[in-house]
Amino acid sequence: MPSFVINEKCDGCKAQDRTACQYICPNDLMVLDRETNKAFNRAVDMCWECYSCVKICPTQAIEIRGYADFMPLGGVVQPLRSSDSIMWAVRFRNKVVKRFKFPIRTKPEGSIDPDAGFTTGTEDLKSPVLRTEPDSL
Ligand code: SF4
Ligand code: SF4
């Protein structure tokens, strides 16, 4: 289910150079229309459905909608983040709304040691080739 921007809620991240959704999208799909100051997903069929943009949007302006072929008539999913939890609101097409709340990590941003004191013992992760290369080329 790809992401869609709700125009009425999007404030263009207050006209900053780069919006939060542009910053976070790993597939470079979010675009800001400078005339309307609204963002949009320029290729929903290319969306990885990672929901990073949905979760980072400061105004909850992005929701997840199903493709019309298997989810007609509009059900949507939308998160609401707080400092210690994330609440997912699922709105069914018959207007029933269900909410699911999950705890999120509480460590301060940037405080996690990625290696956690362990070494990999190899430089493979820094190699530009894939595992089977060059033999598979
Ligand atoms: S992060 Fe949200 S408010 Fe900011 S530009 Fe994207 S959709 Fe709009
Ligand atoms: S769900 Fe992920 S891939 Fe899709 S537009 Fe948002 S950030 Fe990009």
CA of 90 to the centre of ligand 2 (A): 18
Of all protein residues, the one whose alpha carbon is nearest to atom 2 of ligand 2 is 50
Which of 65, 66, 54 has the alpha carbon at shortest distance from 25?
A: 54
Can 88 be counted among the known catalytic residues? no
Does the beta carbon of 20 sit less than 6 angstroms from any atom of ligand 2?
A: no
DSSP state of 12: G
What is the chain's pLDDT, residue by residue, as a tens digit (137 residues)?
789 999 999 999 987 788 999 999 999 999 999 899 999 999 988 998 898 999 899 998 998 887 665 555 667 888 888 878 889 888 888 889 999 999 887 777 788 887 777 777 777 777 888 778 888 87
Catalytic residue among 7, 36, 48, 112: 48
Phi-psi region of 63 (alpha: psi -120 to 50; beta: other; left: phi over 0): beta
